Amino acid sequence: MYYKEHRMELFACRASKEFASKVIDGMNKIADEGESYRLGESEVVQFSDGEFVPSFSESVRGATVFILQSTFPPTDNLMELLLTIDAAKRASADKVIAVMPYFGWARQDRKDKPRVAIGAKLVANLLTAAGVDRVMTCDLHADQIQGFFDIPVDHVYASKVFIPFLKSLNLEDLAIAAPDMGGAKRANAYAKAIGCPVVICHKSRERANVVASITAIGDVEGKNVVIVDDLIDTAGTLCKAAEVLMSKGAKSVRACATHPVLSGPAYDRINASCLQEVYVTDTIPLNPDADTHKIKVVSMAETFSSVIRKVYHYEPVSTEFIF
């Protein structure tokens, strides 16, 4: 009977090609002798009305297929991922694993007012309906989103790279701050790992993306404060929190956020703010036309390289998680 050795195929949708290339480089750095990895070939045919058709340019029959795509706006990025998963299943892939460094719609994780959708659960349902067998993602806005799936979810934390990076800065009188009450758990975990105090900012909103007021809870006098969060959207909360911390006597304020959504006036706000530096990962590419002199990128590619390889080889991934 004819038998072909099981194999891995890794593909990237259009929005995450650059990140996928870095993941492949990372996988080849840690590959065993005789192993080599490459990015599979695929294409997307675009129609004039905006509709598109992704397809694979090579066979995926019987393979474990990893499809890498962050689902930041526009919604085409999510739709392209869903169509690519469907294409893999229909091409007889053995398993399809969605690698989503940024999981979009994660802020819609509950009904916080009447007659609204739970977008994160809908996205989980769509991925499952498309035929995905496993999901890998990083720093979900709410940890309980993992429970929206009935398939394995590998939830990677950016603390894996951020905590060593923050330690390497050798900042004296360091304090970790949460920009709101929802980020208190994350800030406490960072502070515990680094060995420094925690500051909590309490905010109230007028409406979505508009902050009414922020107050700081904790001693920031003479501290070099680093605000940690899972994402930066319009940067309104971040910049106002930095301003409040400086007014309370902080020596300096920096920020550390996993996903640089950076929509609307975010880049201008950061550049005009009292923030010294902002550290983000490459789960979402920065706008190449924006002024990013205050923004430094800490790559998550090697972490995803290790997790992907371990999952494929059925090795434990617990060593990849800090909290």
Nearest to 109 by CA among 73, 142, 155, 140: 142
305 and 30 in contact (C-beta within 8 Å)? yes
> What is the Cα–Cα distance from 249 to 79, expressed in whole angstroms?
47
Task: Quote the DSSP letter at residue 144.
Answer: G
Instruction: Tell me which amino acid residue 186 is.
Output: R
Burial code of 74-113, b = ≥16 C-beta within 10 A, e = fewer? eebbbbbbbbbbbbbbebebebbbbbbbbbbbbbbbeeee
**Structure tokens of 47?**
């129609």
Q: Give yes or no: 203 in active site.
A: yes
**Three-state DSSP state, 98:** strand
> What is the Cα–Cα distance from 255 to 279, expressed in whole angstroms?
6
Cα end-to-end distance, the chain, whole Å: 47
The helix (H) or strand (E) run that includes residue 231 is strand 224-232
Q: Residues 95, 160, 203, 240: which is the catalytic one?
A: 203
Instruction: Tell me which amino acid residue 211 is.
Output: V
93 and 62 in contact (C-beta within 8 Å)? yes
Catalytic site residues? 203
